[in-house]
Amino acid sequence: MPKRNEELAQVLSEAALSNKAFARAVREVSARHGQPINCDHTSVSRWLSGMRPRGRVPMYIAEALSARLSRSVTPADVGFSSMETLPDDFGTVYADSVDDATEKLAELWRADVADDPQILCVPAHGNAGIAAALSWLVRGQSATSPPSAAGRRVGLPDIEAFRATVKAFSNLDNAYGGGQARKALIQFLSTEGAALLRGSYSDAIGRHLHAAVAEATLLAAWTAYDAGVHGAAQRYFIQALRLAQEAGNPLLAGSVLDAMSHQATFLRRHREAADLARAARTGTQGKATATLTAHFYAMEARALACGGDAKGSLSALSEASRLFERRRPEDDPEWIAYFDVAELNAEFCHCLRDLGRHREAAMYASEALANAGASARSDFFVSMVLAAGHAGQGDPEAAFRAAGEALTAGLSLKSARCLDYVRHFRSLIVPFESCSAAKEFIESFAENEMWALSAQR
C-alpha cells in the first residue's frame, strides 16, 4: 500500500487550499501549457494517499503551489521525485567526443520519456546556445571518428528505415503541432536512435547515421519548442548540433543554429537570437546554398525586429530577399525545401508586425496565405499575424474575421506557440471589446478550445 505523501500534505496545508480549489489550480496550470488534464478533489485525495500522478502532472502541481505561495516549489518538494538528480547544465554542454554525446543524448531521451521534471520543467539555460555555437565554429566543420566495433551492425537500409519513420513524425508535427506526437517520437529515438548510435558501422556509414540522428534530434527540439518545453528543446538543439559536426555536415549544423535563433527570438532573447543566426551564416560561408543563407538572414531579421532595430531588420530582410531570388532549389538539402515564396513572405510579415508596421505586415501575410498550404501550423501563425495587422490598423471587423478563420482551421493543433499568438491577439483587441464585431466574435468562439485556453494565464 502506498505511503501517505506527507510532503504534499504539508505544502498544501501551508497554501491553505481545499482539495477542490487545488485541483482547479492544477487544471488551470495544465491548460496554460496547452495540455489540459482532468483532475478533481478525488484526484488530490489519491495524491495525498501516496499515488504518484502520471506524466507532467507533478510539474503542474509544483507550478500551482509556487504561484499560490509566491516561492519556488519543485516536484521533489511535494514528494514526486524518485529519479536521480541531474546536474543543472545537463544536456547543455557541447561534448568533446561523439561517445560522450551519444550517452548524454540517450540519457536525455530516457529522462524525457520518463517525464522527468528536471528536463521538462527547466527553462532554457543561460548562454548555453551561444557557447555551443562557439564550440562548433572553432572545432571545424567535420569530425572523423574511428569505426565502431560494438553493437548491432548498421547499414544504409537501417538508416533509410529510421529516416522514413522520422519523416512520418515530421508530417504529424506540421499537421497537428508539436504536442501531438512528441512523446511517441522521443520514445522511438530512445530505443531505435540509441541502438543505431551504439551499433557497429564504418566511418562512411557513421557519417550518414549521425546526420540522420541529428535531423531527428532537431525535430525533437522543434516539437519540444512548439509544445512549450523550452529547456528540453534547447538541450536537443545542442545535441543535434554536436551530431551534425560528427556527420561532417556544416549545412545541417547551420540549420540547427538557425532553429536555435528562432527559439531565442520567441523567448525575447533577441541579442542571442541575432548572434546564433550570424553564427549559422559565418560557419557555412562558401558552402551554404542561396536558399539557406537567405533563411539565416531572415532569422537575423526576426531577432533584430524583436529587439526594435528597424534599420538592421529591414537590411537583413533585403539580403534575404536578394539571395532568395538567386536560389536553385535543385541544389538545396531536402530539409530546406519548405522555404518557398510563401515562407519568405511569412518572415517579412512577422518582422513588420514586431516593428509596428501593421499595413505592410497585413499585406505580406495576405501574400503568404495566398500561396500557403504546406503546414497547417504555419498557416495559423500567418493568419494570426494578419489579424494583428488589421487590429493595428484599427479595423476590428477584418481582424476578427482573420482570427476566426485561424481558430476554426487550427482546432486540431496542439501547440503552445499557437496559444501564444492567440494571447497576443487578445492583447491587441482590448480597445475594440465594446464593438459589435468583438461581441459577435467572442460569442461565436466562446467554446473554441484554443480561444478558451488563451484566456488562462
Domain boundaries, the chain: 6-78, 87-248
Which among 69, 5, 60 has a CA at the least distance from the CA of 34? 60
Q: How confident is the model at residue 141 (pLDDT cuts 50, 70, 90)?
A: low
Q: Which residues contact 81 (CB under 8 A, 6 or more apart)?
A: 58, 74, 75, 117
Taking only the tens place, the pLDDT of each residue in 354-387 is 999 999 999 999 999 998 766 889 999 999 999 9
| Residue 145, pLDDT score | 54
Taking only the tens place, the pLDDT of each residue in 246-273 is 999 999 999 999 999 999 999 999 999 9
What 3-state class would DSSP assign to 200?
Answer: strand
Mean pLDDT of the chain: 90
Q: How confident is the model at residue 344 (pLDDT cuts 50, 70, 90)?
A: very high
Taking only the tens place, the pLDDT of each residue in 154-213 is 999 999 999 999 999 999 999 899 988 999 999 999 999 998 998 899 999 999 999 999
Residues 422 and 450 sit within 8 Å (Cβ to Cβ): yes
Place of cell 503541432: 177
Taking only the tens place, the pLDDT of each residue in 398-452 is 999 999 999 998 889 999 999 999 999 999 999 998 899 999 999 999 889 899 8
Place of cell 543505431: 196
| Residue 66, pLDDT score | 85
Residue 24 has pLDDT above 70, yes or no: yes
> Rounded CA gap, 359 and 412, in Å?
30
Which among 260, 210, 213, 258 has a CA at the least distance from the CA of 235? 260
> Rounded CA gap, 368 and 317, in Å?
15
Taking only the tens place, the pLDDT of each residue in 214-257 is 999 999 999 999 999 999 999 999 999 999 999 999 999 999 99
| Residue 114, pLDDT score | 79
Which among 109, 101, 239, 92 has a CA at the least distance from the CA of 182? 109
Pure H helices in 143-249 = 156-176, 178-188, 194-197, 203-226, 230-246
- The enclosing H or E element of 34 equals none
Q: Which amino acid is at 276?
A: L
Which pTM value belongs to this model?
Answer: 0.82
What 3-state class would DSSP assign to 153?
Answer: strand
The interaxial angle of helices 57-69 and 19-32, nearest 10 deg, is: 110
